[in-house]
Amino acid sequence: MNRLTRKQQGFVKDLITNPKMTPTESAQRNYDVKNRKSAEVVASNNMNKPVIIMALQEHVALAESAIVGTIRDWGKSDNTRKREIATQNSQYLHDKVFGKATTRIEMQSTTVSISINLTGDGDTPPPEMLINDDDNA
């Protein structure tokens, strides 16, 4: 297996120790780049290198193993906080494996169009306009 260079080690370490750091930010910090665009290229290249992918996956596997251990050890604890942490870890692991639950809302709309001729221009005058000859007699 290829070993990581010093700069690659720093790149990977930054991503592992600071989850909010983007690969571009890590590249800016660990490589001699002149601008953000160059850092984006370096980060993209690094994130496609098998040696870096494997290094990141090793740390993910360790983290997941620790989560599973926490769930196993704390799931039935008398300590409420430990049970809560175990539940949160279980939910995280479930979401990672099966995807986050989403709510799907379906909406249906119907349009009804009604045309009413109020001008009296049609063949028959509106009912209000009809004169009853019996009332005028």
pLDDT tens-digit series, residues 49-87:
999 999 888 887 877 787 788 888 887 888 888 888 888
**Widest pairwise Cα distance in the chain:** 112
User: Does some domain include residue 108?
Assistant: no
The tally of domains found in the chain comes to: 2
Lowest-confidence pick of 21-30, 57-66, 97-106, 125-134: 125-134
Within 10 angstroms of residue 1's Cβ, the number of other Cβ atoms is 7
> How high is the pLDDT of residue 41?
95
Whether 43 and 7 map to the same domain: the answer is: yes
Domain with 35 in it: 1-48
Structure confidence by residue, pLDDT tens digits, 105-126: 777 888 887 777 677 665 665 5
Return the closest-CA partner of residue 93 out of 71, 73, 77: 71
Whether 9 and 37 map to the same domain: the answer is: yes
Task: Read off the pTM.
Answer: 0.52
Return the closest-CA partner of residue 44 out of 79, 11, 18: 11
